[in-house]
């Protein structure tokens, strides 16, 4: 059974169109990430689901009931805000109980829910503290706990990790991954951080330019991006896109790029539109620094990024086209070096003039 269904949601602020014809189905207990750049409309969509914004058109359904006409408190939805929104004069226990008391939940039931949530989130020692006495990570867990005690049908998390430092962000990411296994509800998390989305989500909804660009499991989004935007937004560093032309006939597309390199892809030629001009998409792992005898291209190093587990090399091909490659982890390359590259055509992607992506069969 679908937990959440959005049907043709549209939203404008004045003359500015924010969301256009957004439709989506979320399965029961599914963890979905809304991923996109600032201003893409992802937080507005979350607020429409929560009832904090009103859509100009469209419908929101939760477990077979239409909820968009209902006020926020009657939707069966709990939202965790980016800035915690805790009452500073109340203890953790009082913060978690506040909404339940307003809903006239019996006292013993409130105590049970708080105890259960505190145990799940490991905040039992914090129950009598006030927000000012806690770290950012602890306050974020309390904010999640306040949502958890409502026992909602749907959790909404708006950039829940953005205010944490790197170490706390990683720790809280682990806690969120564990939490999704313990709660009997679907979860939607808004983020601009692809690592969070790739790590936590069952499916990623990539949003940009007022609409959904692609929906799919994390590795499907990475391996088979629907278009140029998804290809460059998901993946770090971004996919290299090289202008290319179809070079010859055959079952698979063979492309020639500006420095004369010919790349034999595994993208079926008959799937491509009738055009001579395309863009070749290359993830860093598809371009390796090699010995001259194995090379398909040559380039000049502009930057070497040593990451411990791998080394990324930012270089330019003979025609000036930038390209990102991988070298061995103990690479001794330096800026200005001339290097030989081997492009793995089997791992390459092809994008047409409109930006639509084409990928190898079974990738």
Query: Mind listing the pLDDT tens digit for each residue in 248-289?
Result: 778 999 999 999 999 999 999 999 998 878 999 999 999 999
Which CATH code for domain 2-225?
A: 3.40.50.300
**CB neighbour list of residue 145: distance below 8 Å, 6 or more residues apart:** 92, 96, 114, 117, 118, 120, 121, 123
pLDDT value at 1 more than 50: no
pLDDT in tens, 192-202: 888 889 988 99
Domain with CATH 2.40.50.140 in the chain: 240-358
pLDDT in tens, 286-342: 999 998 888 889 999 999 999 988 999 999 999 999 999 999 989 999 999 999 999
Domain with CATH 3.40.50.300 in the chain: 2-225
> Rounded to whole angstroms, how far apart are CA atoms 153 and 175?
20
> Is 0.75 topped by the overall pTM?
yes
| Average pLDDT score over the chain | 89
pLDDT value at 363 more than 70: no
> Rounded to whole angstroms, how far apart are CA atoms 175 and 267?
40
- Contact by Cβ (8 Å): 145, 165: no
> Rounded to whole angstroms, how far apart are CA atoms 68 and 56?
11
Least confident of 44-58, 64-78, 139-153: 139-153
Say which CATH topology domain 240-358 has: OB fold (Dihydrolipoamide Acetyltransferase, E2P) (2.40.50)
The CA radius of gyration of the chain, in Å to the nearest whole number, is 24
> Rounded to whole angstroms, how far apart are CA atoms 324 and 304?
10
């Amino acid at each position: 059974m679908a937990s959440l269904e959005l049907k043709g949601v549209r939203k404008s602020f004045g003359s500015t169109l924010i969301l256009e014809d957004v439709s989506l189905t979320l399965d029961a207990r599914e963890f979905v990430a809304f991923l996109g750049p600032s201003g893409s409309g992802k937080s507005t969509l979350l607020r429409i689901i929560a009832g904090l914004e009103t859509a100009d058109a469209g419908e929101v359904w939760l477990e077979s009931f239409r909820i968009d006409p209902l006020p926020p408190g009657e939707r069966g939805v709990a939202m965790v805000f980016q800035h915690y929104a805790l009452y500073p004069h109340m203890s953790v226990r009082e913060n978690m109980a506040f909404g339940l008391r307003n809903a006239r939940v019996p006292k013993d039931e409130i105590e049970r829910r708080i105890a259960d949530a505190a145990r799940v989130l490991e905040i039992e020692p914090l129950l009598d503290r006030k927000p000012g006495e806690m770290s950012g990570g602890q306050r974020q867990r309390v904010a999640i706990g306040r949502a958890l005690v409502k026992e909602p049908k749907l959790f909404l998390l708006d950039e829940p990790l953005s205010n944490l430092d790197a170490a706390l962000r990683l720790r809280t990411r682990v806690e969120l991954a564990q939490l999704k296994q313990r709660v009997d509800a679907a979860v939607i998390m808004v983020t601009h951080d692809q690592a969070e989305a790739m790590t936590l989500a069952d499916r990623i909804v990539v949003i940009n330019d007022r609409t959904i660009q692609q929906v799919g499991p994390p590795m499907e989004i990475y391996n088979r991006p629907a278009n140029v935007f998804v290809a460059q937004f998901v993946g770090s560093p971004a996919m290299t896109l090289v202008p290319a032309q179809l070079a010859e006939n055959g079952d698979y597309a063979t492309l020639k790029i500006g420095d004369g390199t010919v790349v034999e892809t595994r993208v079926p030629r008959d799937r491509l539109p009738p055009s001579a001009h395309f863009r070749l998409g290359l993830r860093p792992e598809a371009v390796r620094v090699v010995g001259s005898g194995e090379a398909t291209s040559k380039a000049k190093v502009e930057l070497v990024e040593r990451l411990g587990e791998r080394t990324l090399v930012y270089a330019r091909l003979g025609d000036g086209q930038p390209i990102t490659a991988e070298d061995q982890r103990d690479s001794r390359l330096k800026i200005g070096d001339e290097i030989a590259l081997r492009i793995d055509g089997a791992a390459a992607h092809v994008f047409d003039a409109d930006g639509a992506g084409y990928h190898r069969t079974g990738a």
